[in-house]
Amino acid sequence: MRIRDLMTTDVLTIGPEARLKEAARRMLEAGVSGLPVTNENGDLVGIITEADFVAREADRRVTQRAGLLRLLRRDVEIPSQERLVGDVMTSEVRVVDPESDHAEAARLMLREGIKRIPVVAEGRLIGLVSRTDMLKAYVRPDVEIVDEIRGHLMKDVLWIDPRRVSIECFDGDVALDGHLETKSDASLLVELTERLDGVISVKDYLTWQIDNTKLEMVSPPTGYSRGNW
């Protein structure tokens, strides 16, 4: 499934000129641990997370560990020239393209140990994809899975008449039953169905007319030259 089909488009952002206290307030109110930072054109220029506050503000305030809640409390000392979001944000941000496959984003999250990734097209932030969004790929409607098997796999990829196969799907468990011309067609249909987003398992009841997987190349008759082919 493509990232554009999973991402959240209503993304809470903040500008690099905003004060840290404002960023902290937005994060707390929204219940998120980070905010994408965009300029006036909507281009992604960085990201600010709670870790940025902890790592870069603790030593500037009091000896105690600083956090978002402490930042908002009135009894915490505020520097005379409080730094802005652009001063502490992380500029090097891992992003994904909206046309990327969800598996690519999942590998990136796992490798980098992050929970969400900005979705960027031509430098502009257009969405955000999280680990929770990834779960959508595994809860596709059964009818959507069946339609993809019939309309895409069978007709467009394998050139198989969809009427030759009965397809049942319940909660991602697919059953294929029918009679095809070759064993390779049956094997490919099962294999490709197993790779579809949302498919949990595939039960194979397919039969075939010709076992073309056992056909062997034989030598041409004696005296039969390549030019006769």
Tell me what pLDDT residue 78 has.
Answer: 44
All structural domains of the chain: 3-137 (3.10.580.10), 142-210 (3.30.300.130)
- pLDDT < 50 stretches in the chain: 62-66, 74-80, 217-218, 224, 226, 228-229
**H-type helices in the chain, by residue range?**
20-30, 50-57, 68-72, 85-88, 102-112, 131-134, 142-148, 183-194
Tell me what pLDDT residue 66 has.
Answer: 46
Tell me what pLDDT residue 20 has.
Answer: 85
Tell me what pLDDT residue 60 has.
Answer: 54
The two beta strands, 173-182 and 201-210, are parallel
pLDDT tens across 30-47, in order?
A: 888 889 999 998 899 999
Tell me what pLDDT residue 112 has.
Answer: 84
Q: Please enumerate in sequence order all residues whose Cβ is within 8 A of that of 138, keeping only pairs 6 or more positions apart, or say none.
A: 172, 197, 198, 200
Tell me what pLDDT residue 64 has.
Answer: 45
